[in-house]
Amino acid sequence: MTTHHPIKPAWTCGGCAGEWPCHTRRRELRAEYVGARVSLSLYLAAQLVEAAQHLAHVPAGHLHYRFLGWTR
């Protein structure tokens, strides 16, 4: 089990205090969803929707890259 879970409503990482998903969690998610890129994107899109409600002050482009842009 990971310690790199999101601390809401700030959406910081519980393991390293960086922006969630942090680099470690991204690596873990890639491994968890190997061969299931669409499922990973759907999971992260759901997280993005929730985060956007909490982080309304953060530019949408930054949130998109932070949650989805790195999955390509």
- Could you read off the pLDDT of 17-52 as tens digits, one per residue? 999 999 999 999 999 999 999 999 999 999 999 999
Q: Whole-model pTM above 0.75?
A: yes
* Single-letter amino acid, residue 69: G
What sign does the dihedral 24-5-69-66 (CA atoms) show? negative
Both ends of the chain: CA-CA distance in Å?
25
Cβ-contact 12, 18 below 8 angstroms: yes
Percent of the chain exceeding pLDDT 90 equals 96
